[in-house]
Amino acid sequence: MRILILSVTAGQGHNRTAKGIAGIAQSRGHECKIVDTFEYVSPAMGELVDEGYRLSIAFTPKAFGRAFRSFERAEQEYAAVLRAYKIVSTRMSYELEEVYQQFQPDAVVCTMSFAAQIATAIYERGVCRAPRMGIVTDYTLHPFWVGTNLDMLVSPSEQLTESFVAKGIDPRIIKPVGIPISLDFAKHIDRQAACDELGIENMPTLLLMGGSMGHGDIAKAIESMDKSASPFQILAVCGSNVRMQHRLEKMQTRKPMRVYGFTDKIHVMMSASDMIVTKPGGLTVSEAVAKKLPMVLINPIPGQEDRNMDFLTNHGMAMRANATLPVGEVVGQLMLSQARRRLMSQAQEAFGKPNATLDVCQLLEEMAEGRA
């Protein structure tokens, strides 16, 4: 089976999802092609969209959140914007015709709503009639998924089905198998073995994920946690944010701290940790849930990440820090309460879907064969 995966670089979550699905599908004998839709149409456009997204998150997050909330409100009020969005996606669909014609996909996967709009336009113009699957990578439904005319829409949880239907999604296409993540997070790693692999002491450990886009003051969070009376070490991961990495490396802290840039050992770090402090990005929190790792959520990007935080805290899988409850206090409370951490882990076990990527590939095979 030939699987075409359409993604968009706006942050890295959508591309991580695309690569995860492709890796498992290829291991099952399928041929996969990942296309970053903006970059394919124009590399300059792809770079502009990604950089624009990063800058808007870093410097105007409130405006970003207001825009997201606006699109969540009555569709009639924003019909003009939605029409313009569809016009743009239809025009871009012409640019992608060559990909479809050369690859001849048996199934199409869209890891972002804009990619799904393009796939819908291509389908409706009769260029390719291969069945289409959408992957929702946050614990909420972005308004632009509505009207995408998909054959399947993969959602993070059964708990979201009612809200998806209320927003206009046909319940027959919703497949609540979870957010696809690397199968590394489904594997159990002994804590001592994880500590040995990382070269760290086996002691109370906090994993801090700073994200790749620089949103939020991670150094300020470390200063708050460093005041906690509870003894623990900090593993601070900055991803591709080199400036943040250099800043943290210069910090003087009372607690032992190791600073990392990009690393492929996050699953090992989670196995060595007692909790994670992170912004609530859809993939990162899903990885933590798969590891049954208690979460403290900070610095949500207004919009989807606010909704992620609501879902996780409402279902007992995380605590949140804010201006009135500093992250250091939340971390201190959790470090002192093994019972609270255990309850979080139990909730995560109940809601987690560590094998979502395998389930998505199974659904793709059924969809392409007309069995779904």
pLDDT per residue over 41-50, tens digit each?
765 444 444 4
Query: Which CATH number is associated with domain 183-351?
Result: 3.40.50.2000
| 3 state DSSP class of 2 | strand
| 3 state DSSP class of 209 | strand
Domain ranges (residues) in the chain:
2-181+355-368, 183-351
What's the predicted TM-score (pTM) here? 0.88
What is the spatial distance between Cα 296 and Cα 311, in angstroms, rounded to a whole number?
13
Q: Alpha helices of 255-355 — where are they, by DSSP H?
A: 266-271, 282-290, 304-314, 327-336, 338-351
What is the spatial distance between Cα 78 and Cα 82, in angstroms, rounded to a whole number?
6
Mean predicted confidence (pLDDT) in 239-265: 93
257-280 pLDDT tens trace: 999 998 999 999 999 999 999 999
CATH topology (fold) of 2-181+355-368: Rossmann fold (3.40.50)
> Across 62-66, 118-122, 131-135, which has the greatest mean pLDDT?
131-135
pLDDT at 50: 46
Q: Alpha helices of the chain — where are they, by DSSP H?
A: 13-27, 37-41, 43-59, 61-72, 79-95, 97-103, 113-124, 161-166, 191-198, 218-226, 242-249, 266-271, 282-290, 304-314, 327-336, 338-351, 356-368
Q: Are the folds of 2-181+355-368 and 183-351 the same? A: yes
Measured between its terminal Cα atoms, the distance across the chain in Å is 16
Biggest CA–CA distance in the chain, Å, is: 64
154 pLDDT more than 80: yes
